[in-house]
Structure 1
């Protein structure tokens, strides 16, 4: 007979942020040891799951819904809270802490307020200064308040999210600054690089560190148009293998992985890879007609080996940064650099803006702005077996 093992409760908050959702924790609610913590977080989400469903956990069996966040008071004088993001692999025993989630960033400020980590005004806008510990970057969230509570409901509509909510404005500060790990905004020193990828051949890329390390390629280089939806890409195993070969090879070129095999096995969350095409009409995943006039450029991004259903928040940061700098793949498709653009993604259109300037050492992006929304979905405790962690 199997020995009896009890379960233990862990305080948590389940939140949607942007087009993602995840389980949020305070640092003190999780084990201090990293291995024990990761084991607990995998069990919370129901990973690793060979059935690819995460039935026995909180995860939703996609990169957008298998996420965890830890937020605590910051020791930095220029920030209010520290924020760690973990991408939990669905089928593999892995929590990838290598990058940020720009979508869940929009829920960090509200979470900090819900948990009483900061003092905020009863009404108006609460300014929350966030230190993103994964990528060593500062982010400012502007959270609406009403009657001493976070205003969660409103009329702001975000393509990829079914219901409207209150708008949260996000500012990503110096997203391309050298963080010591990802390196300079353009790690090769070039705005474009032609890479010879084993098994694929020559591919023109922009390798950029902004938001998260990101690789941009022309849609045409992948025999695509840039307006594809998930079924067009995720059912094509050969195409996904080509994307992964480029992504893994680029990770080595960017100094992020010791080998392509390491990038595929241990660094699945970053770098991201995106493909860019000219504006063209398509029907979004919700059935809404998107016209060529609605956008300046069409962009699709892959996350954890699959086409994302909308756009990652950090992908939007990278798009804005690359669009503002002449010569990049994004600027090339745009027909020239722009500091504010609308791009089409599988769920609709998103507007982003960047502040960029050219200095003695090249181009610098000082700020990227966008709007998102966030909402509490459930509050209470999650349960894990007592012998985990």
Structure 2
């Protein structure tokens, strides 16, 4: 199942924890010994706001260590990175395009064992075991998650909700009923855009994944993800039929097929914020907040936009949630690469992502105070109060 950039599928079963949950804070040992110097190369997909935040993140690291970080960005990470690795000229550190490619690189002995780079006692303190497991191939820890997002969120405008009087649906059938009621008032319920360059299509796949998870639960989802359950199975047919109740109904979709196919995923929620609104709902992960703020700098969280979680289909799996994350591997074992990997794993570094991009941190040491608004805090609590299954 193809993902955007570095997104890796992760399944959560939400556990309700006390509201007074205290997040582990505390610093990490200094990023490097004083007087360190040299350079380290990094390859990733970041551009725009993400790249600007990454540059800000690097300033204290470079000032403290004297190490210069040389960044190379590409939207075709899979092809470019694979070519570089096969040619024997990989970057020191790079984003990994997906779990399959991570496993391929690891089994070809192209990735450094991160347990020899990071203090694993600190890693186990700061990260849930499942984040470590997801970065492990055949018993070797090779992938470090640096930021994350909750997937399967339904975004809407509270102002539009109040004006139209619709209630927040808790089940799939309720969501369909609300969508039809909105359509009857002349507003298209859903704004969907799947264009993403060479990675186009992952938006639709995310829909299918969330429907599958809510229908059949984490265990069967894993069978599907691992290829043990085919795309032509009875389960997948039911998933496609459910998805078709929305995407195949012209009364449900803003702009019709052309909008869906040609609109970049980052611009897809725009109709929710026009005057009058052109659409009511948008399905996307928590990272979409960054795109909303970029398009509409004056909108306010909770007042102008909010989310509800993907509705229940089978009550037994109502609390199952999907998430994704950016994962990095180390291809060259140099002192400079080691120091940067230590820094990228730290709460200090990851606090830049959460405060600057709307991303979430898989590192439990990043305090909620760094999250810029109530929506991001709410998303972070979902992420950190979860147990992987």
> Which structure exhibits the higher relative contact order, with contacts defined as CA atoms closer than 8 Å and separated by 6 or more residues?
2
Q: Which has the larger radius of gyration?
A: 2
Q: TM-score range by the shorter chain?
A: under 0.3
Higher strand proportion, which one? 1
Provide TM-score, normalisation by structure 1. 0.26
Higher helix proportion, which one? 2
Provide TM-score, normalisation by structure 2. 0.26
